[in-house]
Structure 1
Amino acid sequence: MAMGSLSDTEDDFNPEINTTPLVDVMLVLLIIFIITIPVMNHSVKLDLPRAASQPNEVKPESINLSIDGQGQIFWNEEIIDAEHMKNRIATAALKTPQPELHLRAERTTPYEKVAQVMSAAQSGGLSKIGFVTDPNAK
């Protein structure tokens, strides 16, 4: 009995490799490469000028608004009252780009004063308000 063969005759064994599927795959790949290579190499060479540009980002100015423990308001270290503060906020809100309001308050400042300043800034049109704190204060 022969090993690996189900038939009794030796004529059925064909040692040649069937190359037809291999040739079909190679022809398909050849056609794909013939079509895609001109597309990949199709370009127009131009001698473009070189320029370096940086976007002009205008940083908005910041307004330092401080409130001490007695409720005094300081606009960039200048003492002002509530009416002058509202007028200055209204004029600052019209600037482009709009300035940022940096609000500083002492620990002993009543929250009512801070809330009044925040309300005046919002009603005046300032949209960027930041709170400045001192992490080393005791």
Structure 2
Amino acid sequence: MAISTSQEDDVVSEINITPLVDVMLVLLIVFIVTAPLLTNTVKVNLPKAAPTQATPQTKTVTISVKSDQQIYINQEPIVLEKFEAAIQELKKVDSHLALSLNADEVVPYGTVAKLLASIERVGVEKLSVITVPK
């Protein structure tokens, strides 16, 4: 049993950081939960591949190819014949154009190869092929 004296009732002048840590953890959880919802991409089943070194984040144009071979540029559908012209227009607007390619794993290689060839002919130097880690 502890008996306190009037000398031990002094005010504690130290900062209690427990509430600060609680708030920061709640904010971290909110960001972890909402971050995947902020990506507005077409839902495709990505192939698995070994992770590579991350590149610096810039504003990229997303090219998606669904399993039915429908092509999208930033969620806007486009036919393969008009794809190269659309990329040329984007390249005129932004000379440092960066592309992200999301192709479903069941899409034939020929379709993806045609897209890659068009991207190369336009002269895009920054291309990311999006996969999921193994």
TM-score for both structures, normalised by structure 1: 0.51
The offset of 1:135, in angstroms, is 2.7
Higher relative contact order (CA 8 A, sep 6+): 2
Question: For the residues of structure 2 that align with 1:77 and 1:96, how far apart are their CA atoms?
Answer: 19
Deviating above 4 A after TM superposition, structure 1's stretches of 4 or more consecutive aligned residues are: none
CA distance in 1, matches of 2:79, 2:96: 22
Q: Which amino acid aligns with 1:70?
A: D
Q: How does 1:18-97 map to 2 (within 5 A)?
A: 60-97=58-95
Percent identity reads 24
Deviations for 1:20-52, whole angstroms, at most 9, x for unmatched residues? xxxxxxxxxxxxxxxxxxxxxxxxxxxxxxxxx
Partner of 2:129: 131
C-alpha deviation, 1:110, in angstroms:
0.7
> Partner of 1:116 in structure 2?
114
Alpha-carbon deviation of 1:121?
0.5
In terms of Rg, which structure is larger? 1
Q: Distance in 2 between matches of 1:64 and 1:101?
A: 6
Instruction: Indicate the RMSD between aligned Cα atoms, in angstroms.
Output: 1.8
Does structure 2 conserve the Cα–Cα contact (< 8 Å) formed by 1:67 and 1:104?
A: yes
The aligned amino acid for 2:112 is: V
SS in 2 for 1:94: helix
Q: CA deviation at 1:91?
A: 1.5
Structure 1 counterpart of 2:102, which letter? R
Cα distance in 2 between the residues matched to 1:110 and 1:90:
24
Residue equivalent to 2:96: 98
Alignment partner of 2:133: what SS? Answer: coil
SS at match of 2:69: coil
Q: Could you say which residue in structure 1 is the equivalent of 2:5?
A: none
Following superposition, the deviation at residue 95 of structure 1 comes to 3.4
Length-normalised TM-score, structure 2: 0.52
Q: Tell me how many residue pairs correspond in the alignment.
A: 78
Residue segments in structure 2 that go unaligned for 5+ positions in a row: 1-56
Question: What per-residue deviation string (whole Å, max 9, x for no partner) do you get for residues 68-124 of structure 1?
Answer: 112110111111112331111112222344121100111111111110000000111
